[in-house]
Amino acid sequence: MTDKKSAAEWCLYIVECADSKLYTGITNNLEQRLARHNDGTASRFTRGRTPVNLVYREPHPDRSSASRRELLIKKLSRCEKLAMISRYSE
């Protein structure tokens, strides 16, 4: 018997790297994923840009929904992403 993930367990996230670059990703375990980014094992992009800080997160009911949103956000300009992050933190 497999353990099914509960609703809203997937999330889209944006981290700001030490060099101020933004990285967008999805995960079903945000705490673990952030730890992996900071220890340099999560992605090639963030490997040399640690530490990273979480600046945005958005819950999703499933991986498919999170992936679709990730694609949309990755198409945004840096200014558009920063505006979205600013609205989130208000």
Would you state the pLDDT for residue 88? 80
Chain centroid to Cα 35, Å, comes to 12
Tally of domains within the chain:
1
If you average pLDDT over residues 73-85, what whole number do you get?
96
Q: Locate 60 and state its tokens.
A: 């999703």
Q: Is residue 31 part of a domain?
A: yes
Q: Is 17 within the bounds of a domain?
A: yes
Query: Which CATH number do you get for residue 18?
Result: 3.40.1440.10
56: containing domain: 10-89
Is residue 71 situated within a structural domain? yes
Provide the pLDDT for residue 83: 96
Flag whether 1 is in a domain. no
Taking only the tens place, the pLDDT of each residue in 4-58 is: 545 459 999 999 999 999 999 999 999 999 999 999 898 999 999 999 999 999 9
Reported confidence tier of residue 90, pLDDT bands at 50, 70, 90 = low
- 82 is a domain residue: yes
User: Does residue 59 lie in a domain region?
Assistant: yes
Residue 76 resides in a domain:
yes
Q: Judge contact between 34 and 40, C-beta under 8 A.
A: no
Instruction: List pLDDT tens digits, range 45-65.
Output: 999 999 999 999 999 999 999
